[in-house]
Amino acid sequence: MSSEFLSFKVYDDLNRRAADGPLLFMWKYGFSSAIGTAHARASVPVQDASRATVLMDSNGAEILVAVVSDGAGSAALSHIGAQQACELWLEAVRTYVAAGGRVAPLAQDFLPRWIEAFQQQIESTARASGLEIEEYACTFLSAVIAPDCAAYFQLGDGAMIEAVGPDWNVVCWPQQGEYANTTHFLTEADAAQKCFVELRNHSVDEVALFTDGIQNLVLDYRTRTAHAPFFEPLFAWVRPRATGYSAELSEALSVYLNSAKMNARTDDDKTLVLATRR
């Protein structure tokens, strides 16, 4: 049974319980990863991956989990690394929440242990193929959001933005490596030390995650802020939609990311995750 089906079932139960109470704010979300024109011309698979879901903790509170990963362009099987990073992270957080875990402690020692487990699995996959682990190099961004706090994780470029009231905040600026046009990856030995991890003790209304394929289009490098005219129309379209995972939103994002207008501005793979509870 899919997590989306389970989420809708819980929403129905909560709505029945809240019929005579205050309005519940429930997440609406969608995500898409689109191949860049440069990769399409070279017959290279899309190297971005993205996932999102809503979990329920033991108290019936919603936990939004969103994750994106961008495979390194120089690594032969980075698309597999990115896909596995997203899938393994969702599974690890799902297991953690199901066991009674709370979001706040996630920002302590959860990530180093997960990175170790991820690297062990990728190393096993690489060894079976006669390859080095570096061939699966990928970035990592995730938002895990409870009703009253949010845990953010970022290794590499791309970025996340959050809406708290009327303000858009860039959670972490894209990470750059030692040299120009380089960044950090999950397969690096010191990945856990390089990863940005932060717990924010406030309620987050909306969040967006994206890879470096569109970061130059949606971030203002001069003021180091998010470009609100890009995000506001997208979220205005999402807010009236039905709660839970939206296949309609995900398809619309796919069409948008593959549009001629977008491809005229970037030839890289593009990923965008949008989630709102407004």
DSSP string, 202-265: S---EEEEE-HHHHHHHEETTTTEE-HHHHHHHHHHHTTSPSEE-HHHHHHHHHHHTSHHHHTT
Task: Please count the CA atoms within 13 angstroms of the CA of 37 that sit on its side-chain side.
Answer: 11
Q: Helix, strand, or coil here: 134?
A: helix
Q: Is 8 exposed, middle or buried (0-12, 13-18, 19+ CB in 10 A)?
A: middle
pLDDT band at 6 (very low <50, low <70, confident <90, very high): very low
pLDDT in tens, 79-106: 999 999 999 999 999 999 999 999 999 9
- Domains in the chain: ranges and CATH: 3-276 (3.60.40.10)
pLDDT in tens, 175-200: 987 766 789 999 999 999 999 999 99
DSSP 34: E
DSSP secondary structure, 170-187, as one string? ESSPPP--SSTT----TT
Query: Cα Rg for the chain, rounded, in angstroms?
Result: 18
- Residues of the chain with pLDDT > 70, as a percent, come to 90
What integer pLDDT is reported at residue 154 of this predicted model?
98
pLDDT band at 15 (very low <50, low <70, confident <90, very high): very low
Phi, psi of 60 (to 5 degrees): 80, 10
The whole-angstrom separation of Cα 228 and Cα 167 is: 9
pLDDT in tens, 119-138: 999 999 999 999 999 999 99
Contact between 226 and 219 (Cβ < 8 Å): yes
Alpha helices in 99-211 (DSSP H): 110-128, 191-194
- Pairing relation of β-strands 150-155 and 196-200? antiparallel
The whole-angstrom separation of Cα 129 and Cα 145 is: 37
Contacts of residue 135, defined as CB under 8 A and 6 or more positions apart, other chains included, come to 75, 76, 77, 78, 126
Q: Helix, strand, or coil here: 68?
A: strand
The whole-angstrom separation of Cα 255 and Cα 136 is: 28
DSSP tally for the chain: helices H, then strands E: 9, 13
pLDDT surpasses 80 at 173: yes
What integer pLDDT is reported at residue 166 of this predicted model?
83
